[in-house]
Amino acid sequence: MQRIIGSVLALLGAFLLTVGVLAQFYAEPRLEKTPIDVDSTTLLSGTVQLSDGSGGLEESPVKAFSVTHADSERSDGDVVVFANSSCLVKDEGDIDTCVSANDPQDRLVSASTDDFATDRVTAMALNEPQYLPPSADEKTGLVNKWPFGAQKETYPVWDGLAGEAVDAEFDRTESIDGLEVYVYRVEQSGTPIELSAGVPGTLDAEKELFIEPMTGSIINQVDHQERLDSDGNPAIVLDLAFTDEQVAKNVEESKSNASSLELVTGTVPIIGYAVGIPALLVGLGLLLLAHRRRSSSPA
């Protein structure tokens, strides 16, 4: 009986220990990578104040749509390639998508497309030509997410208006519907930009980004911008944030993703080591005792 129990415990311990090692050293590095099948639409809302042509500003409610698609054919084990299209439109006429520049209600404020590539682990922008079309702008810093295991520190974040990475400083920890997030702040003052092609201006801005630290997902983004002309007069004042529905969706998805990641990278290795090692040692000890008793027994 002692040999049977020892064998069972030794086999169980060896199995759990193997599972723990595989989860930590094999599964974790493969799970903590940006997937190459991303196909998402992000919705934002707020207000925009635009120049009325006579020195004043005219305010309108706005919506923003940002569609991001990962190009799985261009992506590989280390790099993910994205194509993004986004637009800012006046929220008139129950609008639920982008409109063309020829919109009869003149609701389009701005629209753009973008191609970029990022490291699947660090989330930092990459500019290798084998991944991107020649028309792609060179980027630095984080573009559309934080790295896995985000820290309470400052990260460089790409700003398309400024054409450079800006510092996003860790500010505080918050909870959104039970999900812990890290909040990072970006502050800009007098940053040179183009108001439109060939028209110089400056940017004063404050932005907060709410990040789920385990996966690096952006849960919410609150942005205030003042784009000023060369005389310091406001040309565009924009306040924009993820919609409540978008935040709720992001929270739900992040809770699920973080739980799955925590199970494989945290819970499984802990159980594997905490239960597997003692079971293996006890099992081997029982087998050794059984062997000694059998050896010392008279023939």
pLDDT digits (tens, 9 = 90+) for 149-195: 999 999 999 999 999 999 999 999 999 999 999 999 999 999 999 98
For position 23, what pLDDT does the model report? Answer: 45
Q: Are the beta carbons of 64 and 98 closer than 8 angstroms?
A: no
pLDDT digits (tens, 9 = 90+) for 28-68: 445 578 888 888 999 999 999 987 767 778 899 999 999 99
152 is written with which tokens?
């309470």
Q: Burial code of 190-222, b = ≥16 C-beta within 10 A, e = fewer?
A: ebebebeeeeebbbbbebbbbbbbbbbbbbbbb
Percentage of the chain beyond pLDDT 90 is: 57
Q: How many CB atoms lie within 10 A of CB 233?
A: 11
Distance CA 27, CA 16 (A): 15
220 is written with which tokens?
């919410």
- Report how far apart, in Å, the C-alpha atoms of 218 and of each of 39, 116, 197, 210, 258 are: 15, 17, 30, 6, 13
For position 22, what pLDDT does the model report? Answer: 43
Q: Predicted confidence band at 103 (pLDDT cuts at 50, 70, 90)?
A: confident
Name which of 25-39, 67-81, 107-121, 213-227 the model is least confident about: 25-39
Under DSSP, the state recorded for 161 is T
Strand runs labelled E in the chain: 39-51, 57-70, 79-90, 108-119, 125-126, 155-159, 164-176, 179-196, 199-212, 217-228, 234-242
